Amino acid sequence: MDKKTNTTKLPTVNARIAPVAGMDVLSRNEVTRLRDASQGGLNALLRRCALAVLTSGSENDNALGIFESYPDFDIQVLQQDRGIKLELKNAPASAFVDGHIIRGIHELLFAVVRDIVYVANQIQAGRFQLEDSHGITHAVFEILRNARALKPNVEPNLAVCWGGHSISRTEYDYTKKVGYELGLRGFDICTGCGPGAMKGPMKGATIAHAKQRLRGRRYIGITEPGIIAAESPNAIVNNLVIMPDIEKRLEAFVRTGHGIIVFPGGVGTAEEILYLLGILLHPANAGVPFPLVFSGPRESAAYFERIDAFLKLVLGDSIAEHYRIVVGNPEETSRRMAEGVEKVRLYRLDNKDAFFFNWALTIEHAFQQPFRPTHANMAGLNLHRDQPRHLLAADLRRAFSGIVAGNVKEDGLREIAANGPFVIDGDPEIMRALDALLTSFVEQQRMKLPGTAYVPCYRVKT
């Protein structure tokens, strides 16, 4: 391993690393595609995801900014007589200790290779009928199974935690306390794998698992190529899964998790809330138990009041039947989750449904079809009440997804730079409420990390 300093004064490392267990060989064709830097190759995707893993812990939520910090970073897959190796050039030195790559980062690097190869060989190659809802669900299942994220013969115990990467210290400490209470009750944790509310619950749970002498616990991080560079995996994640797009990522959360806790966040968190509530509003899912708890410190009470008011205005007062709000009480949050998951367990037993994957939920194609946030697509969203509530939730979810892209994703940042802010239009009352909600996110510094000036990537027509 050679250590040097690049032109941006950030220390870098050159190294070759062998695979950890589970990724020993690749075909010549797979290696060729991973080395191919052309538009049809996989090298650009590999480089993007690998650099995100190597910069774990960095305080940067700009996908382009990471590459500007390490412009000379390169990764190549080498095929050798005894298997493969990854050759890293100008890699962040922070990923190494005394000349050796940190074990967790080592494992996640090869998880990146695993998922990129699998998606290219199986999903993009046309094995699944992605125009069909059932085909998409099976694709999600196969990616998760290949990543060994599905564990049979385990009682329901996976709590999904959603929330923002840009949150206050008080809110972050609260997520750790909730994670601790969940860990004491034997819950494993699944998040979007990044910092903030995605890291806190995992950190709290590790202490609780140690106190309870629970070994081999799962800290699952589910991400996708567009967001990983802006939300690098935190150091606690021990099972990283890279889904092909945000829609499959969201379905993976809902299909694998036994309940979801939502902490304070910004537009990404609002997108996740609308995705799940849209699914729960579907008539076919009326009898399927799915615990959903909104929780935060007392200082965040106003945040949840605003979210609650927005949801009721847009989707009707009855929407509140699908979630509970718990403020300032980590123990109560965890107890409610445990009670809800017990109902999930009994329901799965009665209906002979798997514990490790929720096949019972109906997820319409409107929630599964990848949404490309262009100016035309954002302007074309149907944000009016003259449609079923779950379909309105689907398009509202797309609106928030577009803002996330404009805030932090590479493609979205380039779209905004070239064509200016997205224009969002719809029912006047909904637009006023949406504008007020987004303004509150800006004022509370939930759009970008603190200290980063925020220029809106959207304009709501009111």
Q: What is the pLDDT of residues 292-321, one digit of tens each?
A: 999 999 999 999 999 999 999 999 999 999
Provide the residue-wise pLDDT of the chain in tens; the chain has 462 residues: 565 544 456 899 999 999 876 666 788 888 999 999 887 789 999 999 999 999 886 655 555 567 778 889 999 999 876 678 999 999 999 999 999 999 999 999 999 999 999 999 988 778 888 889 999 999 999 999 999 999 999 999 999 999 998 899 999 999 999 999 999 999 999 999 999 999 999 999 999 999 999 999 999 999 999 888 778 899 899 999 999 999 999 999 999 999 999 999 999 999 999 999 999 999 999 999 999 999 999 999 999 999 999 999 999 999 999 999 999 999 999 999 999 999 999 999 999 999 999 999 999 999 999 999 999 999 999 999 999 999 999 999 999 999 999 988 888 989 999 999 999 999 999 999 999 999 999 888 888 766 677 889 999 998
**381, 432: one domain:** yes
**327, 207: one domain:** yes
**154, 291: one domain:** yes
Question: What pLDDT shows up at residue 60?
Answer: 56
User: Is position 160 within any domain?
Assistant: yes
**65, 140: one domain:** no
CATH number at residue 162: 3.40.50.450
Question: What pLDDT shows up at residue 26?
Answer: 87
**61, 194: one domain:** no
User: Is position 176 within any domain?
Assistant: yes
**216, 88: one domain:** no
User: Is position 218 within any domain?
Assistant: yes
> Which of the listed residues 105, 127, 149 is the one where a domain comes to its end?
127
- What is the 3-class SS of the chain, one letter each residue? CEEEECCCCCEEEEEEECCCCCCCCCCHHHHHHHHCCCCCCCHHHHHHHHHHHHCCCCCCCCHHHHHHHCCCCEEEEEEECCEEEEEEEEEEHHHEECCEECHHHHHHHHHHHHHHHHHHHHHCCCCCCCCCHHHHHHHHHHHHHHCCCCCCCCCCCEEEEECCCCCCHHHHHHHHHHHHHHHHCCCEEEECCCCHHHCHHHHHHHHHHHHCCCCCCCEEEEECHHHHCCCCCCCCCCEEEECCCHHHHHHHHHHHCCEEEECCCCHHHHHHHHHHHHHHHCHHHCCCCCCEEEEECHHHHHHHHHHHHHHHHHHCHHHHHHCEEEECCHHHHHHHHHHHHHHHHHHHHHCCCCCCCCCCCCCCHHHHCCCCCCHHHHHCCCCCCCCCHHHHHHHHHHHHHHHHHHHHCHHHHHHHHHHCCEEECCCHHHHHHHHHHHHHHHHCCCCCCCCCCCCCCEEECC
User: Is position 189 within any domain?
Assistant: yes
pTM of the model: 0.92
**86, 14: one domain:** yes
Question: What pLDDT shows up at residue 6?
Answer: 47
Question: What pLDDT shows up at residue 7?
Answer: 45
Question: What pLDDT shows up at residue 149?
Answer: 96
**209, 84: one domain:** no
Question: What pLDDT shows up at residue 2?
Answer: 60
> Which domain range does residue 31 map to?
2-127
**112, 156: one domain:** no
**170, 190: one domain:** yes
Q: What is the pLDDT of residues 402-428, one digit of tens each?
A: 999 998 888 898 999 999 999 999 999
**153, 185: one domain:** yes
Into how many domains does the chain fold?
Answer: 3
> Which of the listed residues 325, 350, 375 is the one where a domain comes to its end?
350
Question: What pLDDT shows up at residue 23?
Answer: 66
